[in-house]
Amino acid sequence: MYIDTLLSEADWLITEEDYHPEKNQFYETLFTLANGYVGARGSLEQGSQTGSPGTYFAGVYDPTPVFFTELANAPNWLNVKIVANNESIELEKGRILKYKRTLDMKKGLLTQIFRWEGAKGQITRFEDYRLVHLNYKHVALLKGVIVPENYDGPFVVKSGLNGYVFNTGVIEQLLIKHFKLTEYEDREAEGIYLEMKSRLSGISVGEASKLKLSVPSERSVEIDVDKITEVLTFEAKKGQAYEFEKYVTFYTSRDVEDVKFHTLKELNTRVDQGSEVLLREHVSAWEQKWLDADVKIHGDEVAQRSLRFNIFHLIQSANEDDDRVSIPAKALHGEGYRGHIFWDTEIFMLPFFIYTNPRAARSLLMYRYHNLDAARENARIQGYKGAQFPWESADTGLETTPKELGNPLTGETVRIWTGEEEHHIVADVAYAVDHYYVATGDEQFLLKYGAEILLETARFWASRVQYDDRKKAYVIKKVIGPDEFHEHVDNNIYTNYMAKWNISKALEYIDRLKQKHTDSWDKLKKKIVLSSREIREWKTIANNLYLPYDEKTKLYEEFEGYFKLKEIDISGVDSTGLEKIVKDTKWIKQADVVMLHYLLGDYFDQETKKVNFHYYKRWTTHSSSLSPSIYAIMGIEVGNYRDVYQDFMRSTRIDLDDEQGNTSIGIHAASLGGAWQVAINGFAGMRIKNGMLSFKPWLPEKWGKLEFKVKWWGETLNVAITHETVELKLETTDPTRTVEVNIAQRVWRVKGGETCVISVCSQ
């Protein structure tokens, strides 16, 4: 078995060429394998003093002091340790003669190759691959080969399930153990089993594994604190290759009542199937995903590989089969933000799924619907009506933002206001519901779930506003907009405009329901007790909501008083000190006004977008990973191309280059989606105009072609863009189907099975 022969072409690979222990946690994040149900950080099978292994099951949260609740680090199933001729193979000891780990994004594999020389001069070669199965959500597999190159002797292969794991607190000295042991068992020929239960949420996690060798061996089992290890011993001969396989299965009590039964049954089934079948079906599942999700860039290998990295991690973060979970801000890749879910999902990640996997998009929105009662409770607690989705959400849907973060060793604390003031997420969720419906035409979702979200979020805003006699308008006070440098501000334009949009859109859907779905409207109106008087109040508020705008300059003021803030030089200030000195200045964290003009582009004329883009671009620090992608897209839209490619590459490589310095605690999941949006909504210029898809492309000079697919109302549209043409082909089994597309200010009808080539000119 030679691992290199398994690997795909170079533009599908991310490779670690040398071993640097200080980079272990960085690569653990990059090399995370997941399937939306479970994520396993890319830790070394052999273990490491500097690593931070993590196994995270979507939806398995457990309360803790300070953070309310967090995604709980579950038992680690990765370890495969080797003792060769009485010498333990450890990468931080001995001498590494060769080392390479490779993430194969096309096949969803992580491979490792190393040659290691111990203190006795013994040279051992180790190769393996691992997978977290994309089709079988409860299955993982490690398969490899061990070769003693210049010696004979006894070999011991140890493979365990380790429940002695912790979450790391705000500081490394704080470790939180979420799981307590409930059972372990040596199943002899059937492997080993470990079951643990989260201490406060009471969720059981069962894991089972079976280690197999290609030669006869002597088997034993070791038991330690919260650990059970299968041990196989055999006599090895110089130069001979010895294959091993480790099958792993897992279930939680979120999925089934009898965790042990299902975990062990799954293990027996997959062992009987064999590793070759599991590998083949896993690779085939990834091939199917890439057929819909791949974005091909011709003429720029670095951009191609970087963008695929973002798409790969998006694909493996969503679980279309579980609509009670969503994607945390760090996905299933680490403990950053404690595994909480933000607006990142609906605004940055969801569009990718809407256009490549609508079923997954629907599932993500259903997470919000299932937590609608919790959102109502959040509103009630703060004295509002309707549904207030939390700034940080976990399993219950209640607000999980900590009120303060502190260091118990020093006594220092920082007050956190986002949970109490960053209310724009309410409109962001409503925006996502509308976006999904317009792009998919999923009437059932709208009638059963989406309309209720839209109306209850509108109701929240109607209770959140205040009437200002001086302005003769409704205002929204004491908020935090997307620019989190400035807290307690009044009339943040993003928040106000999105609130106005939210209410207006709810009114539109009410009219639609009244006209086309009277039965559904009657049931919904009765369910949420919505009166005609309340609807009239909504109209009044939407028509009179204050929007800070200067007609002379065409500038929208980010919030009241922003234009009067100080203008200071921040060159040389590091990111740590930035937030402390910019609160009273014009410097902003990320796209705010520019974000609004992106999301609600049809509501603003081109000159207004251009003026605001240039004004706010000067003051944007891009201290958030969410920011570069939006400026890249809007740079193209307003014709400011100078920094577009740089901002695009920055968004695709925020984790690959560890630009924020915190990739070690998890992937920047919003940036993954933002990078995809730059390719599709930026370079391809895709928008929805008057209910139809529209393209206005602009490609970087060195790009020869951009190719991708989008799902639209149940059909698949193939798009190929060059500097001169847009080529469209509708994939459908019905040759009578057509899709209308707006390109170059003209509507084109693309018929099923036919290719339409439209001439365009890049700006």
Q: Over the range 540-563, which residues count as b (16 or more CB within 10 Å of their CB) and which as e?
A: ebbeebbebeeeeebbbbbbbebe
Asked if residues 558 and 592 have their Cβ atoms less than 8 Å apart, the reply is yes
**DSSP per-residue string spanning 540-598:** HHHHTB---EETTTTEEPSSTTGGGSB----TT--HHHHHHH-TTBS-BSS-SHHHHHH
**DSSP per-residue string spanning 473-528:** EEE--SB--S-TTS-SBS--HHHHHHHHHHHHHHHHHHHHHHHH-HHHHHHHHHHH
Instruction: Kindly report the backbone phi and psi dihedral angles of residue 709, in degrees, each rounded to the nearest multiple of 5, phi listed first.
Output: -125, 150
- Please tell me whether residue 212 adopts helix, strand or coil conformation: strand
How far apart (Å, rounded) are the C-alpha atoms in residues 270 and 191? Answer: 12
**Token representation of residue 87:** 């010498």
- Residue 721 φ/ψ region, left for φ over 0, alpha for ψ in the -120 to 50 degree band, beta for the rest: beta
Asked if residues 316 and 34 have their Cβ atoms less than 8 Å apart, the reply is yes
How far apart (Å, rounded) are the C-alpha atoms in residues 131 and 33? Answer: 7
How far apart (Å, rounded) are the C-alpha atoms in residues 638 and 624? Answer: 22
Asked if residues 69 and 63 have their Cβ atoms less than 8 Å apart, the reply is yes
How far apart (Å, rounded) are the C-alpha atoms in residues 585 and 746? Answer: 45
The DSSP symbol for 387 reads: -
How far apart (Å, rounded) are the C-alpha atoms in residues 690 and 474? Answer: 29
How far apart (Å, rounded) are the C-alpha atoms in residues 631 and 99? Answer: 39
Instruction: Kindly report the backbone phi and psi dihedral angles of residue 654, in degrees, each rounded to the nearest multiple of 5, phi listed first.
Output: -55, -40
Residues 6+ apart with CB under 8 A from 633: 598, 677, 678, 681, 682
**Token representation of residue 337:** 């933000």
- Name residue 56's beta-bridge partners: 39
Token pair 């290719």 is found at: 755
Pairing of β 687-689 and β 153-162 = unpaired
Asked if residues 372 and 453 have their Cβ atoms less than 8 Å apart, the reply is yes
For the question of residue 287 being annotated catalytic, the response is no
Residues 6+ apart with CB under 8 A from 594: 612, 613, 616, 617, 620, 630, 631, 634
- List helix spans (H) across 316-357: 350-356
Asked if residues 667 and 653 have their Cβ atoms less than 8 Å apart, the reply is no
How far apart (Å, rounded) are the C-alpha atoms in residues 252 and 248? Answer: 14
Asked if residues 743 and 750 have their Cβ atoms less than 8 Å apart, the reply is no
Nearest to 730 by CA among 745, 744, 721, 741: 741
The sign one gets for the Cα dihedral 534, 342, 250, 164 is negative
**Token representation of residue 214:** 């290609």
Of the candidates 422, 456, 484, 637, the residue annotated as catalytic is 484
- Name residue 139's beta-bridge partners: 249
How far apart (Å, rounded) are the C-alpha atoms in residues 546 and 475? Answer: 6
The DSSP symbol for 311 reads: H
Asked if residues 332 and 34 have their Cβ atoms less than 8 Å apart, the reply is yes
Pairing of β 404-407 and β 179-186 = unpaired
Nearest to 698 by CA among 687, 678, 683, 716: 683
- Residue 656 φ/ψ region, left for φ over 0, alpha for ψ in the -120 to 50 degree band, beta for the rest: alpha
Query: Which residues are tagged catalytic?
Result: 484
